[in-house]
Amino acid sequence: MNYYSTQRQTPAVDLKEAVLKGLPSDNGLFMPEKIEPLPADFFDTIIDKSFHEIAFALADRLTGRTLPPSKLEHIIEQTLMFEAPLVELEENMNILELFHGPTLAFKDFGARFMAQLMSYFVEGKSKKLQILVATSGDTGGAVAHGFLDVPNIQVTVLYPKGKVSFLQEKQFTTLGKNITALEIDGTFDDCQALVKKAFLDAELTEKLFLTSANSINISRLIPQTFYYVNAYKQLKDKSKDTVFVVPSGNFGNITAGVLAKKMGLPVKFIAATNRNKIVPDYLATGQYQPLPSVQTISNAMDVGNPSNFARLYEIYDKDVDKMRADIKGFFYDDEQTKSAITEVRKRYNYTIDPHGAVGYLAFKDYIKNCTKPINGIILETAHPAKFLNTVEEVIGEKIKIPTALQQYAEREKLSIPMSIDFEPFKAFLIEQYA
């Protein structure tokens, strides 16, 4: 099976090229040419299937059955080293906890799978694969952990000095091994500019096998389908309609859910956003109008031009009515989000993070128009401790920092300071890796 570009200005490529390249050169996004549904009886016997078995069935189809089964099994094993449990807040309202990975957010699923797949594709090559990634905080951690100890790959993370939180910084500057962190005396945009320049530099691209760990890499969406189907499995009463509530920024997570639906998962979706409400507006008006992003307390969703919208648009044949039939949009401001954190804490004795809180609000509004009870599954995309200051201030209590996060605080920072000039950066890469 091949992967085509949503812009259709470049030829379709195989999985290896789609994964190693990340982005087609026409600036579209890679999409599988065919989405093969699961067998009709798959959902009848789902209760007997393990998370790994479900993942294998989905990944095998989304990779066009091009990987040897034993390899794919290994990749899934290395990806799913943690659970995605469904927690019931009350009847018909569940939280899908996606924060049990090493960096406490759902992005761990995508980053780990992508790392394993890339490693497989570069096996036996003479040059190691060099991943360059600029981060404003969270991506660096998820990518660094995803690639940690993965053979045939080196990762260089560029981050702006003094502009990421203490714990975020510690998550990707203390790992050593195949992960190097460069502390750039500039802004996130400066970091990104350095990475972009490296990809355009003829000498570097000749001497090094460079790629990016782009957030829109198709391989990151594949493992995100796993937990939708596995969450459905965990529902007690499958005779009711089911809706997934997805706190959304770049709309990759919800796109993965929609792919699972295309493969047979009988559910619908709610796209919940903060004031960056481009997609809820599109669903309301039929006009897609990107805007500069505005800052909120659910900052992983502060996106003014969601990159995966192009994929959703493809899946729904560029037809807003088709998208509306599957996805409802809701949006909330920071004050509403804070009240929701308080309400969930008081009512359910559950600490929800600001992104999940936006999802909770959307679900409550959605069911106002439902005539019968439905299963609601709210994706809790990150652990509340990742947004410690906001959450502690709102609930007026200290929250426990999971050991997975706390352990980094005490470790030694190993980053290398660097200016925003390209030449020393280039010289460093050549000296280290060529």
Ligand X SMILES: *Cc1c(COP(=O)(O)O)cnc(C)c1O
CB of 206 to ligand X, least distance (A): 34
330: nearest Cα among 357, 309, 308: 357
Helices (H), 287-421: 309-315, 320-326, 334-348, 354-367, 388-395, 403-409
List the helix and strand counts (H, then E) for the chain: 18, 13
CB of 111 to ligand X, least distance (A): 11
CB of 260 to ligand X, least distance (A): 14
Q: If you search the block for the tokens 């990104």, which residue do you land on?
A: 192
Token digits for 407?
A: 């352990």
Q: If you search the block for the tokens 């497989």, which residue do you land on?
A: 120
Residues 129-158, one symbol each (x = binds ligand X by CB under 6 A, - = not), give ---------x--------------------
Residue closer to ligand X (CB basis): 86 or 258: 258
CB of 381 to ligand X, least distance (A): 3
Q: Pick the piece of the chain touching ligand X (CB under 6 A) from 35-43, 69-77, 148-156, 245-253.
A: 245-253
State yes or no: residue 29 binds ligand X (CB under 6 A): no
CB of 348 to ligand X, least distance (A): 20
Q: Rule CB under 6 A: choose which of 94, 130, 242, 381 binds ligand X.
A: 381
SS3 219: helix
Q: What whole-number distance in Å separates Cα of residue 158 and Cα of residue 184?
A: 7
Beta carbons of 268 and 239 less than 8 angstroms apart = no
266: nearest Cα among 255, 257, 254, 275: 257
At residue 171, what are phi and psi to the nearest 5 degrees? -65, -30
CB of 107 to ligand X, least distance (A): 5
Q: Rule CB under 6 A: choose which of 315, 382, 391, 418 binds ligand X.
A: 382
Q: If you search the block for the tokens 């990634």, which residue do you land on?
A: 133
State yes or no: residue 340 binds ligand X (CB under 6 A): no
Q: Rule CB under 6 A: choose which of 114, 204, 301, 377 binds ligand X.
A: 301
Q: Rule CB under 6 A: choose which of 28, 252, 257, 359 binds ligand X.
A: 252
Residue closer to ligand X (CB basis): 102 or 252: 252
Query: Which residue ranges make up the site for ligand X (CB under 6 A)?
Result: 105, 107, 138, 247-253, 300-301, 355, 381-382
